[in-house]
Amino acid sequence: MLLGMHNMSQATDLKHGNVGQSSLNQSHLPILERKYPDIAGTVLAFDFGEKRIGVAVGETILKAAHPLTTIVAEENELKFSQIGQLIAEWRPSLLVVGLPTHMDGTPHGMTQLAKKFAQRLEGRFNLPVMMVDERLSSAEAAQSLREAGIVGSKQKAMIDAVAAQSILQSHFDGLTSN
């Protein structure tokens, strides 16, 4: 334990060289406005669905995302228990959640559910969470799997994790273009 640290965010700020900066404490901002360009380390990304949640992992230094797993569960407690196990294993600095919208950017039924999921992640795991536009992530995932020769039921089992990979790669690509 670091002496003089009153909370986890101060310790995280120190770890990442952000002492005196408020870049990591953005909980006062609406979830859609949060950006964490200075966070270094492992990032977990989620393609949220009511029945399945795709998960991807990547490192900010390499800026490369990889599909990790798909959580299949009906009950929220079971979903969050599995997410907790992934967080304990990977120890991410940041969580990224895909923001589903219509092609014109307007919200639909899943938009609010994904925002609620992101807020629950932040509340349960006390980690910075941001949302990234996920339009076309599932289509990109399906195309990538088809190109790799993965179709049918094999594709269905992998598509959510590959969609999460696409979401996370979009986040990383946004960091390099800024």
Q: Confirm whether 22 is domain-assigned.
A: no
- The CATH number covering residue 66 comes to 3.30.420.140
> Domain tally for the chain?
1
Q: Confirm whether 52 is domain-assigned.
A: yes
- Local confidence pLDDT in tens for the 178 residues of the chain: 233 333 333 334 433 433 333 456 677 777 788 888 888 999 999 999 999 999 999 999 999 999 999 999 989 999 999 999 999 999 999 999 999 988 888 888 899 999 999 999 999 999 999 999 887 666 777 787 778 887 787 777 788 999 999 999 999 998 876 5
Nearest to 53 by CA among 93, 107, 96, 13: 96
- Report yes or no on whether pTM surpasses 0.75: yes
Give the CA distances from residue 29 to residues 16, 129, 154, 178, in Å, rounded to whole numbers and listed in that order: 21, 11, 40, 21
Residues 6+ apart with CB under 8 A from 77: none
Burial of 82 (0-12, 13-18, 19+ CB in 10 A): middle
Residue with tokens 């901002």: 29
Q: Confirm whether 71 is domain-assigned.
A: yes
Q: Confirm whether 131 is domain-assigned.
A: yes
- Structural domain including 38 reads 31-177
**In this structure, how many other beta carbons lie within 10 angstroms of the beta carbon of residue 144?**
18
